[in-house]
């Protein structure tokens, strides 16, 4: 019952059934009303003819004597049509019969028995004299003045000559009942055929409707799972087609906005990364700066102490760097710093950290590195710097570098290791420069 398609079919079927029930209820009432109206018209026409003949033959109308004479003629006519003898065994007196009964002329009673005889009427003239009685009035009586309000006028030559009021119920003739029954059967089978034709159409239309809605639901569910770019086919120009078109337009705008947002986010992320790099990198050499080095080495030193891993800190200083600036230029000095930084970066492992500690001084952190491995690594770096073609930067330029290594991660923080490494660097400087000095190992290049 939760299916839209099922609800759609049930609503349409209920509407069709309700329409058929309404037609079945109203049709007999309307048909019977139409039968009654036509029967009244037929009777009123006969009444008008009978009164007209009476007026033409007697040249009188509207008196009590006319009413009694017309009522007697109507009674004799009914008895003659039904084959009954006169009620008193005598023919109608000549002074009452007048000139009405002529060969070929219908008696007033015949008008009440010929054709549709199932209706009863109270017929009275314009003075209220009853011409034809019913269950409430008899000929010769006068009707209540209020009866004129509900009476139907009967005219003769455009003048109202009498009034008629149906008396009692209006039974249908067998012919009428047969016609009504046939019509009811026709309506029933027509409604049944209409339902049988409507059901496949309803199922087909509901399948189209539900299919289009299911495509929209599927697209929305995919969007909810992250597949933002969705388009549904537009198969009609009705409300569902308009909805599909609006969804496609909305989805295109959403995807475009999302792509722009992603581009903005990526740009912000790149800018944030650039800002972070600027905040942790030395502008000239591209090495990490001292602040970043201190943050990282604090963690590396603590881990080495906690887990008992080997850890070395190295301080390096370019020999006679002040003379390079003085004898060549500060530009040459900057090139020397950048070249040395590049050599250091390409000579260490990805797990190692190298930073510009200040001026021409560089510092390295070598986690999980034994004293001998640290000394070998720095010796290779020293040799690479010494053998670099410095004359490409400036003719006669010679660059060497001294290193001091602390290979014992002791103390509460790494500052102690920096002090020891600085002492070893000082030792290398005073031992002739261009060499590596270690707390555990002392060798000259």
pLDDT of residue 22: 79
Say if residues 394 and 328 touch (Cβ distance below 8 Å).
yes
CATH class of 290-438: alpha beta
pLDDT of residue 86: 47
Whether 356 has a pLDDT exceeding 80, the answer reads yes
Provide the percentage of residues in the chain whose pLDDT is more than 70: 85
Cα separation, 406 vs 227, whole angstroms: 56
Nearest to 148 by CA among 125, 121, 120: 125
What the block records as the tokens of 5 is: 């398609």
- Give the mean pLDDT of 264-293: 89
User: Could you count the other beta carbons within 10 Å of the beta carbon of residue 51?
Assistant: 23
Most confident of 90-99, 145-154, 198-207: 145-154
Helix segments in 350-407, DSSP class H: 371-387
For the chain, what is the mean pLDDT?
A: 82
pLDDT in tens, 15-70: 777 777 777 677 767 777 777 777 778 888 888 888 888 888 888 888 888 888 88
Cα separation, 329 vs 334, whole angstroms: 9
pLDDT of residue 109: 43
**C-alpha Rg value of the chain to the nearest Å:** 62
DSSP 3-state helix, strand, coil percentages of the chain (rounded to 5)? 60, 15, 30
Q: List the catalytic residues.
A: 360
- pTM: predicted TM-score of the whole model, two decimal places: 0.47
Burial group, residue 283, by CB count within 10 angstroms (0-12, 13-18, 19+)? exposed
**For tokens 């299911």, what's the residue?**
214
Nearest to 359 by CA among 416, 282, 245: 282
Whether 284 has a pLDDT exceeding 70, the answer reads yes
- Give the mean pLDDT of 118-127: 77
The strand ranges marked E within 180-324 are 311-318
Say if residues 362 and 282 touch (Cβ distance below 8 Å).
no
Query: So where are the chain's domains?
Result: 4-166, 290-438
Q: Give the phi and the psi of residue 31 in degrees, each rounded to 5.
A: -65, -45
DSSP string, 311-331: EEEEEEEETTHHHHHHHT-HH
What the block records as the tokens of 194 is: 């209409």
User: Could you count the other beta carbons within 10 Å of the beta carbon of residue 170?
Assistant: 15
What the block records as the tokens of 267 is: 């740009």
pLDDT in tens, 295-349: 999 999 999 999 999 999 999 999 999 999 999 999 999 999 999 999 999 999 9
Whether 399 has a pLDDT exceeding 90, the answer reads yes
Say if residues 131 and 71 touch (Cβ distance below 8 Å).
yes
Cα separation, 244 vs 234, whole angstroms: 6
Cα separation, 65 vs 93, whole angstroms: 13
Cα torsion through 278, 279, 281, 284, rounded to 10: 60
């Amino acid at each position: 019952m939760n299916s839209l398609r099922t609800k759609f079919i049930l609503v349409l079927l209920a509407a069709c059934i309700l329409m058929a029930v309404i037609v079945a209820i109203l049709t007999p009432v309307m048909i019977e009303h139409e039968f009654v109206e036509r029967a009244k018209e037929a009777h009123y026409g006969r009444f008008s003819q009978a009164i007209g003949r009476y007026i033409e033959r007697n040249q009188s109308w509207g008196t009590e004597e006319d009413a009694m004479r017309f009522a007697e003629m109507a009674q004799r006519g009914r008895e003659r049509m039904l084959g009954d003898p006169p009620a008193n065994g005598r023919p109608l007196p000549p002074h009452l019969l007048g000139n009405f009964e002529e060969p070929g002329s219908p008696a007033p009673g015949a008008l009440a028995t010929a054709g549709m005889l199932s209706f009863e009427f109270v017929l009275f003239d314009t003075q209220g004299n009853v011409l034809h009685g019913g269950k409430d009035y008899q000929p010769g009586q006068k009707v209540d003045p209020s009866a004129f309000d509900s009476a139907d006028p009967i005219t003769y030559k455009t003048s109202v000559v009498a009034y008629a009021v149906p008396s009692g119920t209006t039974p249908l003739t067998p012919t009428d009942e047969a016609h009504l029954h046939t019509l009811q059967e026709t309506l029933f089978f027509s409604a049944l055929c209409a339902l049988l034709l409507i059901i496949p159409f309803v199922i087909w239309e509901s399948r189209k409707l539900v299919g289009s809605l299911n495509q929209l639901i599927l697209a929305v569910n995919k969007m909810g799972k992250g597949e933002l770019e969705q388009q549904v086919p537009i198969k009609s120009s009705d409300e569902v087609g308009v909805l599909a078109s609006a969804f496609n337009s909305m989805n295109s705008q959403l995807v475009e906005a999302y792509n722009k947002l992603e581009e903005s986010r990526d740009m912000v992320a790149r800018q944030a990364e650039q800002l972070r790099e600027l905040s942790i990198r030395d502008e000239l050499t591209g090495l990490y700066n001292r602040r970043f080095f201190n943050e990282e080495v604090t963690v590396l030193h603590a881990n080495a102490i906690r887990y008992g891993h080997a850890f070395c800190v190295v301080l390096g200083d370019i020999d006679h760097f002040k003379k390079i600036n003085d004898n060549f230029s500060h530009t040459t000095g900057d090139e020397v710093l950048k070249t040395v930084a590049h050599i250091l970066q390409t000579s260490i492992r990805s797990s190692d950290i190298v930073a510009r500690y200040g001026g021409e001084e560089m510092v390295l952190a070598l986690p999980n590195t034994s004293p001998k491995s640290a000394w070998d690594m720095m010796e290779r770096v020293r040799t690479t710097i010494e053998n670099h073609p410095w004359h490409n930067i400036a003719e006669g330029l010679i660059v060497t570098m001294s290193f001091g290594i602390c290979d014992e991660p002791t103390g509460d923080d790494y500052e102690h290791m920096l002090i020891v490494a600085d002492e070893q660097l000082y030792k290398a400087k005073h031992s002739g420069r261009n060499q590596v000095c270690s707390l555990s190992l002392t060798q000259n290049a």
